[in-house]
Chain A
């Protein structure tokens, strides 16, 4: 095992891996810049930051998925140029990506061995048995006992996540990047993962650990760096930080000024869901939201939160259950049904579900409501532009003409365009799925202000979020989902990280319904 590292990692030899002055921009927006990092053998480096701080972009440059526009990646002190993840993998860098990225039709064993040296039999063919055995062993180390010959698509999202982790472990990587590996895992599975990380450390592997869960990084990491708005803000040994100092560094301003929450009168029940069920994705979901109320929905990735919201919005309608708006039961079979009933939904994937990137700001904002600006099927551009410039003012979309494509905008401005689009029909019920994903801190606070403002206008608001601070700060009540069911309900005075976390993992602490 290598000797203990100092914050700057200064020692005689060159670090195993490093990035120097790294920068990457997309269409004029810097996703990250001037990043200096060193990774020593046997060290766990935690990278922290809010959504959109540039963590994922940085590690994607390191893994060859993006090519940096500035600076370089160094392996053993020598500058290297990765044209694709293939080059990075060859250099010993492996990654557990944030999004589930598996081969659904292939078996678990096959998934673990793709792009990897396979055991062979004497005659030269692959030794399937040895592969299966090795796959079972790797999975067992993570505490899972499954049929490794079955296709991955037959397993749950959480198992898929573990397969992904196992895949990285199954390669002889010297640096493993873990981008939010525990986002879909229960506490027990997380413990198993930590045990594996400790073994990897002992074997001299470097690990980059990206997470939103601050207590995790004290448990597992040796060194912590904090990123904000694409830059490195602070770095140092884990002991030098506290939860408070981490949050300050991540947010860059006192927490109370980040979140907007005015006290406001909460009215009658506007929106109700009763016994909503879809196959084995989610079942018997019940909740109600009053006018002017913000209901937070928490839970692990894959717990059925988004699917539940999308069922309400008519993307994949539920099999059973009732949706009630303004005391009237509505039958939502399609998105247009939902929109007509006054339900709006802000999807979690801004780029693939929310916006049409090459379209202009105006065309994106008006897409759902184009009928309002058309006569005999012809679009009246003047009316459309009028609407768009008014929306841009209301939601403070700045820095670009309405006729420029949204792909040129920053994440924050894109998100505001999306919010304008979603709210174009003046809905009664607004469901926001990860409304601050991938936006900078400034835009984040504006999004919170918009949510607060919607509440003041007596909308019924549902916010789905993975960020505990966020959901606790802006919600009036919180429901937690676990494996497709509601596993906990909390009123504001019952909010606590521990209780909500336990409910998300499916455990029941002392909780009052």
Chain B
């Protein structure tokens, strides 16, 4: 890769910022750069990253998915109930994935062939699914047996399974976006949809697929999340969609589609995780979390906006 190409990488600014931040924290906050703390940060980041990797594709194709918070809750509900009746981890996982994929498909069909823009579809879904899970689960609090929590608690070769899951998803998404027609089309559709139509790309299929992918990722994330917390509540993952979008945008993927990378959502998620962790370590009250998240999103998009304005000016 040429130097110019590296400098043009969308996730570069946030990566540099992340490295500087980690360096600064290591110096100022002694408890930060320790193995247990870093592992704790990573485990928290996993759930957001998994979904962010998929939502990244949705945003690249010039759509958005804000239903992920409720969908994760629904998938967790499915996972938990199958786990309680059937037991194990794999059958519940399949159930959660199927649920996620199905809802993603509905989102996708409505947003493409149904001509409802994805923001509306997924916003409606955010409501409807949360309502549904509240109705179905109510005040029920479900405790999962350890055998059903391997995606959250299990370890393989001394590495938490959740982190392995993330690495696998990341690698898989990398291959999909570099080496499949679908993956390449996502960038094209989001970059210029008129041109995509002119060269005969299947716009609707591509966009639909990204939303299915996003649904699938919610199923997987639900399995990890439920494994980590071990307890099912109807209000689980409220506001999760915000963290996901923040991760994608913070990482450097452009909200207007077509420009971004696979690394971006992970960098963004880690950045959010590290900042929130730093707040905790420095005993900043938890109620500032939302405030910080808001500032972060605004700072990231302003930076992106300024950068495009400046580059446009030069041309």
Decide: B258 and A103 in contact? CB cutoff 8 A. Answer: yes
Determine if A445 is an interface residue (Cβ-Cβ < 8 Å).
no
Decide: A114 and B188 in contact? CB cutoff 8 A. Answer: yes
Q: Closest A-chain residue to B179, C-beta based?
A: A125
Q: What is the size, in residues, of chain B's interface with A at 8 Å between Cβ atoms?
A: 28
For residue B191, give the distance in angstroms from its CB to the closest CB of chain A. Answer: 4
B8: chain A residues within 8 A (beta carbon): 151
Interface string of B170-203 (1 = CB under 8 A from A): 0000010011010011011001101111111110
B191: chain A residues within 8 A (beta carbon): 103-106
A126: chain B residues within 8 A (beta carbon): 178-179, 184
Determine if B140 is an interface residue (Cβ-Cβ < 8 Å).
no
Decide: A124 and B200 in contact? CB cutoff 8 A. Answer: no
Determine if B314 is an interface residue (Cβ-Cβ < 8 Å).
yes
Decide: A101 and B184 in contact? CB cutoff 8 A. Answer: no
Query: How far is it, in angstroms, between the C-alpha of A167 and the C-alpha of B194 when the chains are bound?
Result: 15
Decide: B199 and A89 in contact? CB cutoff 8 A. Answer: yes
Partner of A85, one of B178, B192, B199, B315: B199
A104: chain B residues within 8 A (beta carbon): 191-192
Decide: B202 and A102 in contact? CB cutoff 8 A. Answer: no
Q: Given A105-B191, A105-B258, answer yes or no on A124-B179 (Cβ-Cβ < 8 Å).
A: yes
Decide: A114 and B201 in contact? CB cutoff 8 A. Answer: yes
Partner of B199, one of A115, A150, A280: A115
Q: Given A125-B175, A125-B178, A126-B178, answer yes or no on A105-B199 (Cβ-Cβ < 8 Å).
A: no
Determine if B34 is an interface residue (Cβ-Cβ < 8 Å).
no
Partner of B200, one of A88, A110, A153: A88
Query: Which 8 A-B pairs have CB atoms at the shortest separation, nearest pair first?
Result: A89-B200, A125-B179, A86-B200, A115-B199, A101-B195, A103-B191, A85-B200, A105-B259
Decide: B197 and A102 in contact? CB cutoff 8 A. Answer: no
Q: Which of A63, A101, A110, A150 has most B Cβ within 10 Å?
A: A101
Decide: A150 and B4 in contact? CB cutoff 8 A. Answer: yes
A63: chain B residues within 8 A (beta carbon): 198
B259: chain A residues within 8 A (beta carbon): 105
Give residues of chain A (140-156) contacting chain B, Cβ–Cβ below 8 Å. Answer: 149-151, 153
Interface string of B272-315 (1 = CB under 8 A from A): 00000000000000000000000000000000000000000111
B202: chain A residues within 8 A (beta carbon): 86
Determine if A279 is an interface residue (Cβ-Cβ < 8 Å).
yes
Determine if B141 is an interface residue (Cβ-Cβ < 8 Å).
no
Q: Which of A90, A105, A118, A153 has most B Cβ within 10 Å?
A: A105
B181: chain A residues within 8 A (beta carbon): 118
Decide: B188 and A84 in contact? CB cutoff 8 A. Answer: no
Decide: A101 and B194 in contact? CB cutoff 8 A. Answer: yes
Determine if B28 is an interface residue (Cβ-Cβ < 8 Å).
no
Determine if A16 is an interface residue (Cβ-Cβ < 8 Å).
no
A115: chain B residues within 8 A (beta carbon): 185, 188, 196, 199-201
14 contacts between A and B (CB under 8 A): A64-B200, A87-B200, A89-B200, A101-B194, A110-B188, A113-B184, A114-B199, A114-B201, A115-B185, A115-B188, A126-B179, A149-B2, A149-B5, A150-B4
For residue A345, give the distance in angstroms from its CB to the closest CB of chain B. Answer: 21
Q: What is the size, in residues, of chain A's interface with B at 8 Å between Cβ atoms?
A: 35
Decide: A106 and B315 in contact? CB cutoff 8 A. Answer: no
A153: chain B residues within 8 A (beta carbon): 315
Q: Given A88-B200, A149-B5, A280-B315, answer yes or no on A103-B184 (Cβ-Cβ < 8 Å).
A: no
Query: How far is it, in angstroms, between the C-alpha of A106 and the C-alpha of B191 when the chains are bound?
Result: 8
Decide: B192 and A101 in contact? CB cutoff 8 A. Answer: yes
Query: How far is it, in angstroms, between the C-alpha of A452 and the C-alpha of B16 when the chains are bound?
Result: 61
Decide: B179 and A103 in contact? CB cutoff 8 A. Answer: no
Determine if A9 is an interface residue (Cβ-Cβ < 8 Å).
no
A86: chain B residues within 8 A (beta carbon): 200-202
Q: Closest A-chain residue to B2, C-beta based?
A: A149
For residue B111, give the distance in angstroms from its CB to the closest CB of chain A. Answer: 18
Determine if A342 is an interface residue (Cβ-Cβ < 8 Å).
no
Decide: A90 and B197 in contact? CB cutoff 8 A. Answer: no
B199: chain A residues within 8 A (beta carbon): 85, 89, 114-116, 167
B178: chain A residues within 8 A (beta carbon): 125-126
Determine if A237 is an interface residue (Cβ-Cβ < 8 Å).
no
Query: How far is it, in angstroms, between the C-alpha of A181 and the C-alpha of B88 when the chains are bound?
Result: 63
Determine if A65 is an interface residue (Cβ-Cβ < 8 Å).
yes
Determine if A97 is an interface residue (Cβ-Cβ < 8 Å).
yes
Q: Given A106-B191, A279-B313, answer yes or no on A114-B198 (Cβ-Cβ < 8 Å).
A: no
Query: How far is it, in angstroms, between the C-alpha of A153 and the C-alpha of B199 when the chains are bound?
Result: 18
Query: How far is it, in angstroms, between the C-alpha of A64 and the C-alpha of B197 when the chains are bound?
Result: 10
Q: Closest B-chain residue to A121, C-beta based?
A: B179
Give residues of chain A (146-171) contacting chain B, Cβ–Cβ below 8 Å. Answer: 149-151, 153, 167
Q: Closest A-chain residue to B204, C-beta based?
A: A84
Query: How far is it, in angstroms, between the C-alpha of A125 and the C-alpha of B192 when the chains are bound?
Result: 25
B314: chain A residues within 8 A (beta carbon): 279
A151: chain B residues within 8 A (beta carbon): 8
Determine if A95 is an interface residue (Cβ-Cβ < 8 Å).
yes
Decide: A106 and B188 in contact? CB cutoff 8 A. Answer: yes
For residue A125, give the distance in angstroms from its CB to the closest CB of chain B. Answer: 4
Q: Given A89-B199, A89-B200, answer yes or no on A114-B192 (Cβ-Cβ < 8 Å).
A: no
For residue A494, give the distance in angstroms from its CB to the closest CB of chain B. Answer: 34
A114: chain B residues within 8 A (beta carbon): 184-185, 188, 196, 199, 201
Q: Which of B2, B181, B200, B314 has most A Cβ within 10 Å?
A: B200
Query: How far is it, in angstroms, between the C-alpha of A104 and the C-alpha of B191 when the chains are bound?
Result: 7
Q: Closest A-chain residue to B4, C-beta based?
A: A150
B2: chain A residues within 8 A (beta carbon): 149
B201: chain A residues within 8 A (beta carbon): 86, 114-115
Query: How far is it, in angstroms, between the C-alpha of A103 and the C-alpha of B199 when the chains are bound?
Result: 11
Decide: A95 and B179 in contact? CB cutoff 8 A. Answer: no
Q: Closest A-chain residue to B10, C-beta based?
A: A105
Q: A85-B198, A89-B200, A104-B191 are in contact. List 17 more A-B contacts (CB 8 A).
A: A85-B197, A86-B200, A101-B192, A101-B198, A103-B187, A103-B188, A103-B191, A103-B192, A105-B191, A105-B259, A106-B187, A114-B199, A124-B179, A126-B179, A149-B5, A150-B4, A153-B315
A84: chain B residues within 8 A (beta carbon): 197, 200
A89: chain B residues within 8 A (beta carbon): 199-200
A110: chain B residues within 8 A (beta carbon): 184, 187-188
Decide: A105 and B187 in contact? CB cutoff 8 A. Answer: yes
Query: How far is it, in angstroms, between the C-alpha of A462 and the C-alpha of B56 when the chains are bound?
Result: 48
Interface string of A106-143 (1 = CB under 8 A from B): 10001001111010000011100000000000000000
For residue A95, give the distance in angstroms from its CB to the closest CB of chain B. Answer: 7
Q: Closest A-chain residue to B192, C-beta based?
A: A103
